[in-house]
Amino acid sequence: MKLARAIYAALIIFFLVAPLLVILPLAFTSSAFLTYPIPSFSLRWFEELVVRSVWSRAILNSLIIAGSTTVLATALGTLAALGLRSLGLGLRGQIQTLFLLPMVVPAVVLGVGMQAIFVRVGINSTYFSVIAAHTVIAIPFVLISVSGALAGIDPRVERAAESLGASPPRVFALVTLPLAMPGVLSGAALAFATSLDEVVLTLFVAGPNQRTLARQMFSSLRENISPAIASAAFIIIVGTVLVAAALLLLRRKRA
């Protein structure tokens, strides 16, 4: 019984992790096909990402869009989380539900609606439209993360600061914000990762000039599968890990 459970758990762990272990080594294949065994290791597909302008342009676009999305979503989400915190429980629950809805609404439906209004206002297929779209779906992650950090702050600490004569802005700057910082930073990392991985909304609101890395991967998965996809996947994973690590470091330094 015990052995059976261990085998079962191991099998499912394998099922969960294996796909990631399969794709990453293929980023370094020298073959023109995404298959095993890997004949020899080479960086030719990374070179392709840098040299071919469709890919290098897409990487640049992803950095611009994910960076702007992170700043915008983190600012809006953090402010709102601070506001939510001081509301009564009932009202807070209702507003929070509204703020979390972008996570629930099917992306295709949102994409159709966004394209319609962006076209009407005349801003479709611009960087702004893509950043706005990504920010909408990144906000719930920031909000959850910051709200979690704020909930963990002991109110007595802030009251102590107040009773020692600190003005409300000083309490905020010196007590609340530093204590909430871990939540803000992990929210920012999640926002960056969300934008980096977004495909569906991008299909609707981006023009050929705003093609992101994920969007480019999506179309090459549909049209011509090449190991460049594995290299792009490698970049997405490494990019996410790097941003998370950088924010973690920043958090250490601040704390």
Partner 1 sequence: MNRLSRPRAFLLMSPLLLFLGLFFVWPLVSVIWQAVSDPAISRVLPRTAAEIGGWGGEGVPSDEVQAAFREDIVANTDDMAMGDVTRRLNSSQSGFRSLMGKTVREVRETPDIALIEIDDRWGETAFWKAIQDNASPYTDAFLLSALDLQRAGSGEIEAMPAGSSANRTIILRTLWISAIVTLCCLLIGLPYAMIAASVTGWKRAVMIAAVLLPLWTSLLVRTAAWMIILQESGIINQVLMGIGIISDPLVLIYNRAGVVIAMTHVLLPFMVLPIYSVLLTVPGNLMSAAASLGAHPVRAFLRVLLPLSLRGMISGMLLVFMSSIGYYITPALVGGASDQMISSVIAFYATQSANWSMAAALGLILLVLTLLLYALYNRLSRDPVPTR
Residue pair 68/130 in contact (Cβ under 8 Å)? The answer is no
Does 84 bind partner 1 (CB under 8 A)? Our answer is: yes
- Residue from 45, 46, 99, 192 that binds partner 1 (CB under 8 A)? 99
Q: CA-to-CA distance for 28 and 82, rounded, in angstroms?
A: 45
Q: CA-to-CA distance for 89 and 174, rounded, in angstroms?
A: 26
Residue pair 183/144 in contact (Cβ under 8 Å)? The answer is no
Q: CB of residue 116 vs partner 1: minimum separation in angstroms?
A: 5
* Site size with partner 1, rule: CB under 8 A: 82
Q: CB of residue 177 vs partner 1: minimum separation in angstroms?
A: 10
Which positions ≥6 away from 215 have C-beta within 8 Å? 58, 199, 202, 203, 206
- Residue from 184, 229, 243, 247 that binds partner 1 (CB under 8 A)? 229
Q: CB of residue 180 vs partner 1: minimum separation in angstroms?
A: 11
- Residue from 65, 66, 181, 214 that binds partner 1 (CB under 8 A)? 214
Residue pair 41/227 in contact (Cβ under 8 Å)? The answer is no
- Residue from 26, 66, 149, 188 that binds partner 1 (CB under 8 A)? 26
Choose the stretch contacting partner 1; rule: CB under 8 A; options: 11-19, 42-50, 57-65, 247-255.
11-19
Strand, helix or coil at 154? coil
Q: CA-to-CA distance for 102 and 217, rounded, in angstroms?
A: 24
Choose the stretch contacting partner 1; rule: CB under 8 A; options: 38-46, 47-55, 56-64, 219-227.
219-227
Does 115 bind partner 1 (CB under 8 A)? Our answer is: yes
Q: CA-to-CA distance for 176 and 96, rounded, in angstroms?
A: 20
Q: CB of residue 255 vs partner 1: minimum separation in angstroms?
A: 20
